[in-house]
Amino acid sequence: MKAAAIHFRLRMVISFVIIGLGFGVPWVFYGQFSTRIPFLEWFPLQLSRHGLLSFSMAAPLLIALGTLLAGLGAVLRVWGSAWLGPATVLHGQMQAGAVMADGPYRFVRNPLYLGLGCIVAALMLLMPPSGALLVAIAMPLNILGLTLGEEAFLAGQLGSPYQAYLRAVPRFIPRLRGAPAPTGRKPHWLRAVLTEISSVGVFLAFACLSWRYDYLLMFRAIGVSFGVGLIARAFVLGANKESAATK
């Protein structure tokens, strides 16, 4: 459990390191080992060279897929943060106040991690192929480790109500039928959006800039959104602490 707690505390750092390695894996600087062009360009070229699909058709399809993944990821992240509460989302330790079965948590147990996976899958399109492969292996392992650690913690803290929730709601694949009844909690939309500015920024970069095929511009826009997101998260954390202090 101690290892799970450390993993959870460092979850943002680990995720950033994995994504950073995807964009800058050391071997991309040695041409004999890897190519530097992004997967978004490399994969359509491969399809075109093998006569499977022309580049002019494959590239827009891949861009549309990336935009869809980024949009789905942003929705899941904002939706999940709104119902769970930014204070819990940003907390450095696992929290176990009560079973969360409202909003997206009625249909899937881990909408935040599912959203992260969608966002990272979109970002992989901008990485060199070997970097994308590295992230495709490392990030699911990271998310699975976080999920299993949290489930063990919550099961120990909440007992039978959480066990019932585990049986009713799937871990990663949403299920609409048989969803638990909502408990009546209220979402925190504004703080959720501020908390997830980086996720929204990835979606906007794909939706607005990817059609220009200017990958450097997209990379810069995403970098700016991550920077703004960190500032916004610090603001939300400060507001949460101030609110808690006044209660």
Residue 27 confidence (pLDDT) above 90: no
**What are residue 93's phi and psi, to 5 degrees?**
-125, 150
Per residue in 180-220, pLDDT (tens digit) is: 888 778 898 999 999 999 999 999 999 999 988 888 899 89
Res 90: pLDDT: 87
Res 220: pLDDT: 92
Res 72: pLDDT: 97
Per residue in 221-230, pLDDT (tens digit) is: 999 999 999 8
Per residue in 77-124, pLDDT (tens digit) is: 999 999 998 888 888 888 887 888 899 999 999 999 999 999 999 999
Res 112: pLDDT: 97
Higher pLDDT among residues 175 and 76, named by residue: 76
In the chain the domains, ranked by start, together with CATH numbers, are 2-187 (1.20.120)
Higher pLDDT among residues 100 and 64, named by residue: 64
Res 15: pLDDT: 95
